[in-house]
Amino acid sequence: MISLKDKIALVTGASSGIGAAIARAFAAAGAKLILTARRQERLQQLATELRDNFNTETLLLTFDVRERTAVTSELSNLPLAWQSVDILVNNAGLSRGLSKLHEGSIDDWEEMIDANVKGLLYVTRTIVPGMVARGQGHVVNIGSIAGRAAYPGGNVYCASKAAVRTISEGLKQDLLGTPVRVTDIEPGLVETEFSIVRFHGDEQRANKVYENLTPLTADDVADVVLFVVTRPPHVNISELLLVPTDQATATLVYRHQP
């Protein structure tokens, strides 16, 4: 088993939900953390919490993963002590809307594709060469059950997560012969700010997604990510689907009688 003690992990989208939970799990395991998102104040609160609880060293970077120049300039110019990134967690992402494709918002599509696909690529392209050069690294992409099959209204979000799945597969192939590992984690329903963002702030509609079932928590996903990155170096968990017990497919869920 690999120890995370003093390893450097970069987690995108650490200001909320799954990313923040991964940061907490890694910090508890002794990692140093580069945390990124757009909301600086959230990152600062998390960094203070991690320092108080685990004495964690953090480097906070505030940028939008859709901004190619910002991504490359922030991540290519890391302070010397932070340059040897051991683990990259590409978690930043979102869904917007649940409209039929022919009625959908093109702005929503662009936001999803730019963040979930292009943002992930920009970060990966900047960080992975160092991993290859140092002969050490693990890329964990947060895909989704949505990347395995489309569901009604999911169209472009599902396509973006299918892209994450294929990019993960391709990256694993391209890194064959190096020790760098690649994993695509594919969660089902996880209660975070995800649905509030999807429905543009409509909390009532967001709450209905998780009504009368027990969704995964962000900590459940973080637990699995911690497991994946701590396997011995010869073990690569390439793809992992995790769903709530109350969920079978993206659309087939069991709701208890209220």
Q: How far apart are the C-alpha atoms of 95 and 92, rounded to whole Å?
A: 11
Give the 3-state secondary structure of residue 185. Answer: strand
C-alpha to C-alpha distances, 96 to 104, 105, 159, nearest whole angstrom: 10, 9, 13
Range list of H helices, 83-191: 106-112, 120-134, 155-174
Q: How far apart are the C-alpha atoms of 158 and 164, rounded to whole Å?
A: 10
250 binds, among ligand NDP, ligand 8X3, none (CB under 5 to 8 A by kind): ligand 8X3
Based on its alpha-carbon atoms, the radius of gyration of the chain, rounded to whole angstroms, reads 18
Instruction: Give the end-to-end CA distance of the chain in Å, rounded to a whole number.
Output: 43
Annotated catalytic residue 254: no
For the window 181-200, what string marks contact with ligand 8X3 as x by the rule CB under 6 A? -------xx-----------
Of 116 and 136, nearer to ligand NDP (C-beta) is: 116
Q: How many residues bind ligand NDP (CB under 6 A)?
A: 29
C-alpha to C-alpha distances, 70 to 62, 90, 93, 231, 234, nearest whole angstrom: 9, 16, 17, 33, 35
Query: Does 183 contact ligand NDP by CB under 6 A?
Result: no
Instruction: Give the CB-nearest residue to ligand NDP.
Output: 17
Please report how close the Cβ of residue 76 comes to ligand 8X3 at its closest, in angstroms: 30
Query: Does 193 contact ligand NDP by CB under 6 A?
Result: yes
Q: Please identify which residue in 11, 127, 140, 145 interacts with ligand 8X3, judged by CB under 6 A.
A: 145
65 binds, among ligand 8X3, ligand NDP, none (CB under 5 to 8 A by kind): ligand NDP
- Could you list the residues that contact ligand 8X3 (CB under 6 A)? 144-146, 154, 188-189, 250
- Give the active site residues: 157
